[in-house]
Structure 1
Amino acid sequence: MSVHVEPTAIPGLLLVHLDVHEDARGWFKENWRRRKLADLGFPDLGPVQHNLAFNHRRGTLRGVHAEPWDKLISVVTGRVFGAYVDLRAGDGFGRVVTVEADPSLAVLVPRGVGNAYQTLEDGTSYSYLVNDHWRPDATYLAVDPADPALAIPWPVPPAESILSEKDRANPLLAEVAPMPVRRPLVLGAAGQVGRALAAAFPDATLVTRDDVDLMDPDAAAALPWRDHDVVLNAAAYTAVDAAETPEGRRAAWALNATLPATLARLATEHRSTLVHYSTDYVFDGTAGGPDGHTEDEPLSPLGVYGQSKAAGDLAVGTAPRHYVLRTSWVIGEGANFVRTMQRLAAGGVSPGVVDDQVGRLTFADELARATRHLLDTGAPYGTYHVTNAGEPTSWYDVARAVFRLSGRAESDVSPTSTAAYGAGKQLAPRPLGSVLDLAKLRATGFEPEDAMVALERYVAAQADRP
C-alpha cells in the first residue's frame, strides 16, 4: 500500500496511511517525511517536540484532551482504538471520529480537536509529534470519554478501563466551553488595503498605528501572536516622494523593511501564515514579459520607497508560511487617484495627466478577495501578482474614464509626460511599466475582475455618497 492521506468528518483531522516494511527482523516505517507528505497535500507540521507514552495493559484509556497545538500521533508498538472529538467553536463542536490504528496509520490532530485512545494490546507505545513546546500556562480542553452525548464505542467500557483519576473527572461535553477559533490579525487596518481586509475578514482583530507603534520591533513582538493563525500586514509607508527625504527615508525603511523582517521572524516562531502586501515599485518598469512583470523577475527598484519594499519582500520570503502579494495603483477607501479626478471633474478643473506610465488599477476589495481565495484554497506559499484584469492603461486613460463617468468630457483631460509633469518638482522616480503578469494568480483558480468594470462601479458608488 502506498502512502496516502485521507480526510475525515472533522476538518483538519487527517489519517495518514503509512508503508510498513516487514521482514524476519521486524519492521521499518517512515513516520514523518516532510517533503513526501507535503507532495500529498499534508500541511507542514514543523514538529518541535516528540513525546512517547508506554501502556502496560490492554484497556488503558488516555484522554480526551485538546491542546493549543497540532500533533501527529502514531502507534509504535501494539494497536489502539482512537477517538477524536472536535472541541473548537463552530458547527462541528462535539463531532466524533473513531479509528483503529496500528503502526501503519498516523493521525494529524489539529489544535482544538480532542485526542483519546484505548489500547487493544498489552505493551502498546504511542508517539506524539507536536509543533509547539509544552508550557505550564497552556490552556487545555478535556471532556469525559464516557459522556453519553459522545457515544464513543470503546472496546472496553470506560468504567472497566485503566484510566487516571484526572481523566475520570473530566467534564461532560455540555459543560465545555469551545476552544475559540483563531482570528486573523490585520496590521495597518486604517489604510485602503487594511479597510478592505477588515470587510473581507469580519472576524479579524484590527490594529492601526494609533493602537500599536509598528515602527518599534518590540511593540510588534508584543502582539498576541498565539491568538492568530494568519497575520495580514497592510502596514506600510507609502509616501513615495517623502521617502526621498531624510525623515521619510528612515520611516520607509522602518515600516517597509524592518517591520516585515520582524514579522517574518515572529511568524516563523509562532507558525503563523504571514500575508504581506508589496508593490510594482520593486521593479524599474523596463523589463517584464509580454504580459508584464513576473513574480520571479529580478528586483530593480528605482527609489527609496521601492528599495525598502523590495527589502521587505525578501525578508517575508524567509517565513515558511508566507504570501507576498504585489499590487499596483491601489484604489480603495481613502485618498487616491480616482477620487482626486472625481473632485477635479466636479470642480471644473481640466488637469494634465501623465500618459507614459502604464499599468492596471487594483481595487482594494479585489485585493482582499484574492487574499481570501489564496488562504481558503490553501494555494502554495510564495509571491503572487494581484491586480484587476483587462487591458493595461495609462493614468491619462484612467483620468479620461473618470471624467466621462462623472459627466465631463474626456477631452477636458490633457496628456503630459512624466518628465514634463515632474519638471521643477522634487518627485521620486516612478516605473513607467507597471503591468504585473497575473498568470500565477489565475493558475490558483482566481479570475480578477476587469479594472474598467470595477472603476465604473466605484465611481458610481462615490457619486451616490452625500
Structure 2
Amino acid sequence: MTEYGKRLSVSTTAIPGLLLAELPVHGDSRGWFKENWQREKMTAAGLPDFGPVQNNISFNDAVGTTRGIHAEPWDKWVSVATGRIFGAWVDLREGDTFGAVFTAELDPSRAVFVPRGVGNSYQTLEADTAYAYLVNDHWSADAEYSFLNLADETAAIDWPIPLAEAEISANDLAHPRLADVTPVAPKKTLVIGAGGQLGRALRASYGEHAHIEYADRDALDLADPDFGTGRRWRDYDVIINAAAYTAVDLAETPEGRTAAWAVNVTGVTELARIATANGITLVHLSSDYVFDGSSSEPHTEQEPVRPLGVYGQTKAAGDAVVSTVPRHYIVRTSWVIGEGKNFVRTMASLAERGVDPVVVDDQIGRLTFTDDLARGIRHLLEHRAPYGTYNLSGAGEPMSWAQLARHVYRLTGHDPERVTPTSTDAYHATVTTPVAPRPRNSVLDLTRIRATGFAPADHLSSLQRYLA
C-alpha cells in the first residue's frame, strides 16, 4: 500500500550510482498526487541532473509479469504510477562491482535512479500495475546493450513470485548467465589535440584504453566545419580540448587572424554545442593571454578579461562560449612546457651551441609543465570538482623569462650570465615581423584549484626534473 506523507529523500545502494528515492505522495478520499520528477527539488536532494529526453510507460495486467534484466546505454528514472513492483538491479559495468545486486519494492512513494550499464528488472506484485521511466537518450539500433538471465545463479535474485510461475518473454528466458555477459564499457573520453604538448602528456597519464580516444589534427580538426559528424556523441562522457591555434604572433596577420578565430572560437562553439546536447563534460584549456597583465596582483578566475592581441581575443571568446556548457571546466594556464618545441628547450639548445641570448625581463609568470597540467585535469574530473573556471599553473616564486633562461643555463652546466635581460619594448623594436602584445603579468592565483585538494608543483623544481 502506498505510504503517504514521506519527505523527499535519496539514499545510496550497494551499486555505485544506483539511488533509491522516497517520494512525497499526497492523498485523500479522491486518490493521490505526487511530483514524479521535479528537477529543482530532486537535484537538490542528491539526484543527478541527467537531462531526460523521453518518457515511457509500462503497463502490466497480471501479478508476476517479469521483465528481463536489461542494461541500456542511458540513465533512467523509474517510478510507479499505480500498483507495486519488485525491482532487481545488477551491475553489468566493467569494474570491481560487476555482478553486484540490489533489490527493493517500488510503489508510488518510492522510485529509483538507474545509471547507464546497470541491469534492471521488474516483477509486478499487483494487477494493473503501471510504471514510468524517464530516459536521457533515444533508443538506437546502433547502441550497445547488455542482458543477464533472470535465473542467473551468481546473482541469485530472490524473486517474490518464482520464475516458474511468472509471465516472462521468450527473449528474456534466453539471456546469458553472468559468466557469459560482456561487461558494459564506460563512456568514452576524447582527447582533442593529442599530438600537441598537452595531448602527449594526457596520453602518458591516461594510457591506452578502449574507452580513451586520442585525436590529433589529422583525425579531428577544429577548423573543419564537419568535424562534429561521424561520432555517436551520446557514448562520450568527457571531451578534453587540448587543441588550439597558438601561433600568437602569426595571429596578428590577416591569414592568422582567420585561422585563430576558426579554431579557437568557431570550432570551440561546435564543441560546446555537442557537449550541451549530449550531457558531456567539456574540459577546455584557456590562457593568461585573456588578460592585459596590467595588474600587479595574481589574476583570479573572477577577474574580467582584457585581451591585448588577436590570440588572446579568440581565447577569451572561446572561454565565454564554453562557460555556457552546463558541465564544463575552463582550465586557465600559462607558459606551458612539455614534449616538443618550447622556451626551455630553445634556451637549452642555445646554451649548448654557445649562443648568448637576449631575453625579456619585464614579463613575469610561472612555468606550467604539461605533466602537472594533465594531473590537474584528471584531478578535477575524478574528484568531481564544481564546474567552472580554474587557474592551473606551476607554483612557487614568479620570475621573468630572463630569470628562467638563466636557470636553464645554470641547470645545464652553463654560465647564467650569458643571458642578457632586456625590456619587451626594446626586444620588439628589433623584430621586423608582426609581434603580438604580451601581458606583462601572467601570474595566476591558484587558490581555487588548491581548495579542491590539488597541489600544483613548484615550477623551478619541475624545471630541474625536466632538464634532468
Change (3 A) 1:17 1:404: farther
Change (3 A) 1:8 1:169: same
Residue aligning to 1:164: 169
Q: In the alignment, does 2:337 pair up with 1:358?
A: no
Q: In the alignment, does 2:38 pair up with 1:30?
A: no
Measured after TM superposition, the shift of residue 224 of structure 1 is: 4.2
Structure 1: give runs of 5+ residues left out of the alignment.
Answer: 461-466
Q: Which moved more, 1:27-36 or 1:111-120?
A: 27-36
Q: Which moved more, 1:38-47 or 1:147-156?
A: 38-47
Residue aligning to 1:235: 243
Residue aligning to 2:25: 20
Give CA-to-partner distance per residue, 1:283-317, whole Å, 9 cap, x none: 111247x4x11212222111111111111111112
Measured after TM superposition, the shift of residue 370 of structure 1 is: 0.8
Partners of 2:41 and 2:404 lie apart in 1 by 48
**Equivalent residue runs for 1:369-408 within 5 Å:** 369-408=375-414
TM-score when normalising by structure 1: 0.94
Q: 1:368 aligns with which of 329, 352, 374?
A: 374
Secondary structure of the 2:269 match is: helix
Q: 1:347 aligns with which of 353, 362, 379?
A: 353
Q: 1:454 aligns with which of 455, 459, 462?
A: 462
Secondary structure of the 2:188 match is: coil
Change (3 A) 1:338 1:224: farther
Q: In the alignment, does 2:315 pair up with 1:305?
A: no
Residue identity matched to 2:391:
H
Residue identity matched to 2:175:
N
Secondary structure of the 1:159 match is: helix
Partners of 1:135 and 1:93 lie apart in 2 by 24
2:364–2:400 Cα contact (<8 Å) kept = yes
Residue aligning to 1:326: 332
Q: 2:344 aligns with which of 325, 328, 338?
A: 338
Q: Which moved more, 1:438-447 or 1:370-379?
A: 438-447
Q: In the alignment, does 2:181 pair up with 1:181?
A: no
Residue identity matched to 1:212:
L
Residue aligning to 2:122: 117
Measured after TM superposition, the shift of residue 31 of structure 1 is: 2.8
Identity among equivalent pairs (%): 60
Give CA-to-partner distance per residue, 1:154-188, whole Å, 9 cap, x none: 11111111222222222222232222222311110
Residue aligning to 1:140: 145
Secondary structure of the 2:202 match is: helix
Residue identity matched to 1:37:
M
Change (3 A) 1:354 1:37: farther
Partners of 1:451 and 1:28 lie apart in 2 by 60
Q: In the alignment, does 2:104 pair up with 1:68?
A: no
Structure 2: give runs of 5+ residues left out of the alignment.
Answer: 1-5
Residue aligning to 1:104: 109
Secondary structure of the 2:403 match is: helix
Change (3 A) 1:39 1:373: farther
Q: Which moved more, 1:113-122 or 1:212-221?
A: 212-221
Residue identity matched to 2:265:
A
Residue aligning to 2:3: none
**Root-mean-square deviation (Å):** 1.7
Measured after TM superposition, the shift of residue 274 of structure 1 is: 1.0
Residue aligning to 1:79: 84
Residue aligning to 2:280: 272
Change (3 A) 1:359 1:41: farther
Partners of 1:411 and 1:32 lie apart in 2 by 69
Runs of 4+ in 1 over 6 A off after TM superposition: none
Change (3 A) 1:221 1:319: farther
1:184–1:201 Cα contact (<8 Å) kept = no
Partners of 2:339 and 2:325 lie apart in 1 by 30
2:222–2:268 Cα contact (<8 Å) kept = no
Partners of 1:216 and 1:243 lie apart in 2 by 18
Residue aligning to 1:58: 63
1:294–1:385 Cα contact (<8 Å) kept = yes
Residue identity matched to 1:343:
S
Change (3 A) 1:36 1:436: farther
Measured after TM superposition, the shift of residue 405 of structure 1 is: 1.1
Residue aligning to 2:257: 249
Secondary structure of the 1:75 match is: strand
Change (3 A) 1:365 1:245: same
